[in-house]
Chain A
Amino acid sequence: MAMSFIGKPISLISHSDVRYRGILAGIDPAASTIQLSRVYSMGTEGRRPAHEFIPPVAEPYEYIIFRAGEVKDLSVDDTQTPNPRSVHEDPAVVNAGRVVQQQSSNNPPQPRGQRTNSVLTANSSLQNVERAMGELRQPENGSGGGGGHNSNKNKITVPTTDFDFASSNAKFDKTSAAPDDVAPDAEKEASYNPTKSFFDTLTPGPANMRGRGRGRRQEERNRNVATFGEPGGVGLLGPGAYVGGWGGYSRRGGRGGRGRGQSAGNR
């Protein structure tokens, strides 16, 4: 099924937090790899702290083969016609023009260091590709006309039988997420050691949810469809239950009815 996305523009984020944009050229279930052509590396954008920043690379790679297991996120680019802005979408960048790209083109167009693990072929399982592709869901472009896609095609049915925890857990190897380069007995510094410090180094909670923008919103809607069969929106459970909220108009058409009818098109 995922094969139908071949030829579509794809955004892919590796576990090194580098985003790549390119055209889906192929999926190799046997090798568990995903191939993109005409690939731009967008760098880490805002996903890593400043000292780990990897800048975007101006020249596209002809193709990159990605190991599916190292792909953190994958989505179909909803911007069908790439415009200059799509080269660098970070709203903080005032000028995403040639100057920036000239600078960064000094970098060798080869991923270096740790990043290489994202772009090498590897022999992880077929399951990896399927899972990664499961996330690859066509955003419902232009369907904001209102309710048109509110069909049963995504309906989540709950089987009457019990969920089989044992066989489901058998499909998952918890230790597979352990980084390969760390020897199991090389215990890294504990995040909390009361004998050494009162303070801990746990990963902190989300700093600020604001400003994560449209991509994240779309990602969540896709995920909601996968979980619940619908993307969610305003006031599912009746008036008064929900105040404010974002993005409600794109699903419910011109529901607001205050001269914002054109927003329903959502182009």
Chain B
Amino acid sequence: MNPASSSSTPAPNSRPPSSHPSAANKTPSEWKQQLHAPPKDMRPQTEDVTATKGTEFEDMFLRRELLMGIYEAGFERPSPIQEEAIPVALTGRDVLARAKNGTGKTAAFVIPSLEKVDISKSKIQALLLVPTRELALQTSQVCKMLSKHMGINVMVTTGGTTLKDDIMRLSDAVHVLVGTPGRILDLASKGVADISQCPVFVMDEADKLLSPEFSPVIEQLLSFMPNNRQVMLFSATFPLIVKDFKDKHMKTPHEINLMDELTLRGVTQYYAYVEERQKVHCLNTLFSKLQINQSIIFCNSTNRVELLAKKITDLGYSCFYSHAKMLQSHRNRVFHDFRQGHCRNLVCSDLLTRGIDIQAVNVVINFDFPKNSETYLHRIGRSGRFGHLGIAINLVTYEDRFSLYRIEQELGTEIQPIPASIDRSLYVAPQGGDEQAQQPHQQQVANGTAVARR
């Protein structure tokens, strides 16, 4: 077990440089050399993530144990949003931060949240709220990875799991609680999760959490929190409804807006005009022509997700699928295995539209064109993660023409007709990755969520 730094609790900035036993008594270079960072990602990146002022993580007055976790996770220096948000968040001020999809928002709130935790107190000290279960899992994994050397207990809780396990888990110390609103409200109102002294409240994909379906839950949840909590909101989209929340619940928040435009520079967008009955044929051709490292294919309903997954396996390609009507354990397995690269293609509904970070995804296909620009923006943001390159291909029917027009107008972006051949340099990394388009293979359909696994 990790001993707490000291019996007193110094202010964050006056904390001694290190309190971790293994990190103590080492010069700065020594502790850093002993870390095991993953292999460096050599893919080119856009200025969406490279346009920084040159701050280093070591300039941020973070605990050495936290720095160790940061570097071991492969982070080299802060992305623009991290550079802006972390110092302000550490001061305890409310934050309203807007940055593009996949530019490092999660770490921008996880790092200050972890830094502020006092391990000697066995209370929930940071509540990180996200709109979907998969995103909760992903965010808690980031927390665990970054806090690896800190001895902080991170707990994730979402709907679709048994409440009993959560209650058991909360009888032990939990410092950081990550989850979806409904379950956390459930735990808080039962008195199982004590957030009455929780000083940090973060909403990731804040606009989604403040949409009509969630906002009553958020309001109730806030009533269980102390009045002097720090509130931080992060997203790539901030519709006006968020302003109401800001005026009501935030104290002169520091606004960070790193978005000159809405769409990612690294993602090139195309449309292919099709008739409804040609969609499967069109997709088949895309599969055979594109250099897909990993792809996410969006449909507009759960039924269509299943129907398409079946068609894709019939055509001899492998795919996973996920949607809201599946068992949570199956959703989790699909998410985990896809992230591990067990399968090249994932068919899903808008369940996985927001926040999901799978770096290997270089192609997003809207098999069904979305009806609104917010959904569109978040969907295509699943490729081009962290400034890398990717493409988004939209199958557009005659019915979709108005949506296409409106989305282009609202996002101030251009969706081009798909060319006969797509320049590989727009979405395929120069080295590494697969050089071949995927080949259909003998069909093998397994019962269960994972079909035709490769």
Contacts and interface: CB of A to CB of B under 8 A. Distances in A.
Interface of A: 15, 72, 131, 134-135, 156, 158-159, 162-163, 165-166, 168-169, 171-172, 174-178, 188, 190-192, 194, 198-208, 220, 223-224, 226-228, 230-233, 236-245
Contacts of A131: 398-399
A116 B393 CA distance: 36
Contact of A232 (B271, B304, B418): B304
Interface stretch (B79-87, B147-155, B276-284): B276-284
B399 A135 contact: yes
Contacts of B114: none
A240 B328 CA distance: 11
A232 B304 CA distance: 7
A199 B262 CA distance: 12
Interface stretch (B7-15, B161-169, B185-193, B308-316): B308-316
Contacts of B374: 202-205
Could you say which interface size class chain B belongs to? 35 or more
B410 A243 contact: no
Given A163-B278, A177-B405, A178-B405, A203 B373 contact: yes
A158 B273 contact: no
A224 B377 CA distance: 25
Contact of B325 (A168, A204, A244): A244
Interface in B287-308: 288-289, 301-304, 306-308
Interface stretch (B105-113, B357-365, B446-454): B446-454
B326 A205 contact: no
30 contacts: A135-B399, A159-B281, A163-B278, A163-B284, A165-B418, A165-B420, A169-B273, A174-B417, A176-B401, A177-B404, A177-B405, A191-B409, A192-B261, A198-B255, A202-B411, A203-B374, A203-B406, A204-B211, A204-B241, A208-B213, A220-B301, A226-B276, A227-B276, A228-B307, A237-B309, A237-B449, A240-B330, A241-B326, A241-B449, A243-B327
A165 B315 CA distance: 20
Contact of B306 (A15, A205, A237): A237
A247 to B, nearest CB: 9
Nearest to A244: B325
A168 B326 CA distance: 36
A177 B372 contact: no
Contacts of B98: 198
A70 B445 CA distance: 43
Contacts of A72: 399
